[in-house]
Amino acid sequence: MTRRAITPGTFDPITRGHLDIITRAASLMDEVIVAVAASAGKHPMFSLPERTQLVREATQHLPNVTVEPFGNLLVDFARERDAKVIVKGLRAITDFEYEFQMNALNHQLDFDLETTFIMSPPEFMYLSSSIVREMASLGGDVAQFVPPCVQEALTKKFA
Ligand code: COA
């Protein structure tokens, strides 16, 4: 049986922290689908096609990783793709309560879907997309936090 996992997120934009989790998930699973959420309620800075494209570019070196946008419930998307596992990153302890709630809800919606967590390494513990967006908007150098394609996209966005 193919072990297929989903790593979901808004990815506005994808950071090296996300990439670390995706890479480690890809080494544990047969296939990983990075699911880029529409997340309309969050009013993302990059459009859904832009975010999807940036995740594709950032993960193109990982042969068992594919990238897809989605706009429905995560449990439904996982069912459609026949994925049995959701992999998420856990950064600081502050992530825990929210992830605990999401896991409980998703579990209630689909009993067969497991959520598993990978701890972020210390260097990415406090990294987030909004911090990256703010730094870039103020002309800061974000090279150590994002893949080159994202750095380029941010430079264009704030030119
Ligand atoms: N490295 C760096 N940053 C990370 C990270 C990591 N490993 N993991 C999370 N983050 C940051 C993100 O950058 C983002 O930062 P920001 O808020 O500063 O921009 C923040 O954590 C939240 O990440 P996001 O990708 O928006 O994920 P989320 O945990 O809020 O969940 C979905 C997003 C897509 C998984 C969730 O909204 C979902 O499942 N949506 C589909 C609809 C649905 O099913 N809803 C009901 C669920 S019960």
Over the stretch 37-89, which tens digit does the pLDDT of each residue have?
999 999 999 999 999 999 999 999 999 999 999 999 999 999 999 999 999 99
Q: Which residues surround ligand 1 with Cβ inside 6 Å?
A: 8-10, 12, 15, 17-18, 21, 37, 39, 73-74, 89, 91, 102, 105-106, 120, 124, 127-130
Q: According to the model, what pLDDT value does residue 33 have?
A: 98
How far is it, in rounded angstroms, from Cα 63 to Cα 149?
18
Contact (CB, 8 A) for 83 and 3: no
The pLDDT value recorded for residue 159 is: 87
- Rounded to the nearest angstrom, the distance between the alpha carbon of 155 and the centre of ligand 1 is 23
Look up the pTM and report it.
0.95
What confidence category does residue 111 fall into, taking pLDDT thresholds of 50, 70 and 90?
confident
